[in-house]
Structure 1
């Protein structure tokens, strides 16, 4: 069967390129050539020479033969089954490529978001990124993270299982960031802020129930809520955050038992819930026996003013479920967040958490412990604030120069976003698409809006692009708006 391929079936192939000398020193190139030729000539399913036969034929070691088989298998030309040897694979053209049957089986899912893919996919090379809220590599504490990860990997238990709630040391550190009255037992570690929101909405809400949200809010939270079967109901908000009277009204009319708020540097508007509104918000929660999911996504990124403590710090009765994330202030790869809650709700969250991924990788948790415990953490935050302040100033100055006819955006006191008003009647999605073609990625305001859009906006982020890039991006955006 194989006589015409590199020699007889009874003896080794000879000649250059067909193996090496005795002792298995030959390379796999000749074996790859032979197998490739066989796969091209023989029908699918035909048996190929055994490993032992290829060793003898090419005077090669078992390892060399295995490497050659793996190389040919990687091209899709052969299949290897343990105990049965290798056979010629069916050519791609003979395999079914009709995947349309999946559409009928999957059915429709209106709760799965379409905007999220566009909003959170990395932008192509050459496009200036004013859409992503993550830090660019130059602003990330890469050295600090590398040192923390190296120490973490050597710590006892770094690669073992951990408690479902997370490492006690990390939970204690996060509790201290929420309030002095919270303890490690109140904290549940999760794989990033988005996973935390999905967990809370699924555990605390019931399909079909209302979820009260600010009328302009984080689309990732809306996506997680809808995936849990919740129905977002908008609550009016302004530059001072959610309006307490309107919140109480919506809770009364909708019957919502769950509220989602961003009291500090709200995404996308940058609003901070005013101190004089906070007692009234907590009173509305108490009066309507509701839970509030407090998304504290950029807690350490105050820039020009110190924001008030979390709502959870002033809530002794367990109405506020606090979510804190490290990704935005450190690195997108540090997928560490935490949910802080008290009472039976904490037990409910812990039980629901088990069905997600059992626990967060301990080495990642240990890295976060090392990071938060080192003096370099505070130095990183101080440096990061200086970087963001400079970028914020560059972006606002570029807007004032290149887009003087637009209403000036409210300078955010922290966070990473500028909420840019567009001319009345403008279609923010068309502007977004045109800006992308011009080499600028921005966020369309309507993607952040629940209900009707009151006025068109764009979300411009200054965390991902250095100052000179921000200026160039605004110039491109101005040209787009000028061209209509």
Structure 2
């Protein structure tokens, strides 16, 4: 049994028995709980800590654990209906309503109901995460001199230097800011580069979290269609001319959700078009560490081939390691670095130093390249298993393009709506992501995104297709 499961089960057992004890009454000793439930002292300690956090028990060092007295409400719940008016009232100067629609993001962050297989996750399953290496890195980081002190606001110099080397080109540590993951980096970039009301060019389809950032900042996302070779330069140039936009956000490598890689002939063209428009290209390089085993040599980041400071590069360790290792970077050249730094400092001061130290320990350990190699092989295997099963059992949902990186398949439905498909899939015990949230304008058709990273293994992917085939009953 996993330790986390043991803790939860012990906490449930103790919670159900609390009525046996009077308020302030003492619970059995830790030793007695170890013997009775046949768990480790660490499990007992964590279970009691969980109950203490819930306010059900009180722990007193040297004395033991006691049933807590019930908390009394200070006052009855008030009337909050006035907030509906306050939150919906837009200011007279607001060009774009700054409402927040996080539906597309929450879909990949919310745990599905029990028994439902998660095919909409944006993160690696725990069995694919380097948990031992992370634990060792965090332990070593905590013992580093000054590990709990205040870090430089730009980030630890050694970590900034590592990110600069990863991006390549002529970038140095002075061109890099450490951020709290990729989402935070994108938020900082958009806030620094586009004022409220400004148009922002985005790939279509694109990552829903980016659309949420843009709209929450009061900006107007404008779609530029993507095909099998990435964004179309002719439409990008037309969009710059029509909107006067000064920002284009793209994912040139394993684009989310299509998996497209920007074609060699388009890379220089995209930079030339942006430079002519006096615009920045925000390069979200989210999946470089998620290349599949058969990907071959990867193209350099756009930032590595950009001497003029057109590209603001976003990189993160989160996708390849753990959802909780929220460490990323912004890399850029020129005066924009000062603007990015100012926005980040105002928002969050700095990324906690222990997390930065742990990230340094992780990427410097021999286990890191071994982990990336294992993930590359497993993601390729899962991609092939899922795509093969779809071709055999549900050809109407089989994707036209197999990506060589990332963690998802993007499929256009033969007929029917994506929402209806997602609802039918959920009834069959599978959570998928409907395609509509990936478009900031009307979609050209119904799509679904199927992620193969968040399941426990290839066997579960075969079960996914079996459930869909038997439970959808021709929803398309």
Looking at structure 1, the residues matched to 269 and 446 of structure 2 have their Cα atoms a distance apart, in angstroms, of: 30
1:241 aligns with 2:222: no
1:71 aligns with 2:61: no
1:125 aligns with 2:101: no
In the other structure, the counterpart of 1:317 is 308
In the other structure, the counterpart of 1:307 is 298
Does structure 1 retain, via aligned residues, the 8 Å contact 2:428–2:472?
A: no
Cα displacement (A) at 1:107: 2.7
Cα displacement (A) at 1:408: 4.0
Which consecutive residues of structure 2, in runs of 5 or more, have no partner in the other structure?
1-20, 26-59, 90-96
- Of 382, 388, 399, the residue aligned with 1:397 is 388
- Of 397, 403, 420, the residue aligned with 2:411 is 420
In the other structure, the counterpart of 2:256 is 267
In the other structure, the counterpart of 2:344 is 353
Most deviating of 141-150 and 113-122: 113-122
Looking at structure 2, the residues matched to 152 and 224 of structure 1 have their Cα atoms a distance apart, in angstroms, of: 32
In the other structure, the counterpart of 1:58 is none
1:459 aligns with 2:449: yes
Does structure 2 retain, via aligned residues, the 8 Å contact 1:431–1:480?
A: no
Looking at structure 2, the residues matched to 164 and 247 of structure 1 have their Cα atoms a distance apart, in angstroms, of: 35
RMSD: 2.1
TM-aligned CA distance change 1:63 to 1:286, over 3 Å? closer
1:204 aligns with 2:193: yes
In the other structure, the counterpart of 1:111 is 99
In the other structure, the counterpart of 2:55 is none
Q: For 2:329, what is the secondary structure of its paired residue?
A: strand
State how 1:48-447 maps to structure 2 within 5 Å.
Answer: 71-72=68-69, 75-77=70-72, 95-107=76-88, 111-115=99-103, 116-303=105-292, 304-305=294-295, 306-406=297-397, 408-424=399-415, 426-447=416-437
Which consecutive residues of structure 1, in runs of 5 or more, have no partner in the other structure?
1-28, 34-61, 78-88
TM-aligned CA distance change 1:64 to 1:165, over 3 Å? closer
Looking at structure 2, the residues matched to 448 and 233 of structure 1 have their Cα atoms a distance apart, in angstroms, of: 13
Q: For 1:165, what is the secondary structure of its paired residue?
A: coil
Looking at structure 1, the residues matched to 404 and 65 of structure 2 have their Cα atoms a distance apart, in angstroms, of: 59
Cα displacement (A) at 1:31: 6.8
TM-aligned CA distance change 1:95 to 1:378, over 3 Å? same
Equivalent pairs counted in the alignment come to 410
Give 1 or 2 for the bigger CA radius of gyration.
Answer: 1
Looking at structure 1, the residues matched to 404 and 387 of structure 2 have their Cα atoms a distance apart, in angstroms, of: 13
Cα displacement (A) at 1:312: 0.5
Cα displacement (A) at 1:99: 3.1
Cα displacement (A) at 1:468: 1.0
- With the length of structure 2 as denominator, give the TM-score of the two structures: 0.82
Cα displacement (A) at 1:63: 8.9
- With the length of structure 1 as denominator, give the TM-score of the two structures: 0.81
Most deviating of 254-263 and 396-405: 396-405
Cα displacement (A) at 1:215: 1.3
Q: For 1:293, what is the secondary structure of its paired residue?
A: strand
Looking at structure 1, the residues matched to 23 and 77 of structure 2 have their Cα atoms a distance apart, in angstroms, of: 30
Cα displacement (A) at 1:97: 5.0
TM-aligned CA distance change 1:409 to 1:477, over 3 Å? farther
Cα displacement (A) at 1:66: 12
Deviations 1:381-432 (A, max 9, x none): 11111111111111011111111244543111111110012113x1101211
Cα displacement (A) at 1:478: 2.6
Q: For 2:252, what is the secondary structure of its paired residue?
A: coil
Does structure 2 retain, via aligned residues, the 8 Å contact 1:111–1:223?
A: no
Looking at structure 2, the residues matched to 30 and 438 of structure 1 have their Cα atoms a distance apart, in angstroms, of: 46
Deviations 1:61-102 (A, max 9, x none): x9999987x921xx214xxxxxxxxxxx66xxx613543233
Looking at structure 2, the residues matched to 66 and 406 of structure 1 have their Cα atoms a distance apart, in angstroms, of: 58
Looking at structure 1, the residues matched to 65 and 281 of structure 2 have their Cα atoms a distance apart, in angstroms, of: 57
Does structure 2 retain, via aligned residues, the 8 Å contact 1:152–1:370?
A: yes
Q: For 1:321, what is the secondary structure of its paired residue?
A: strand
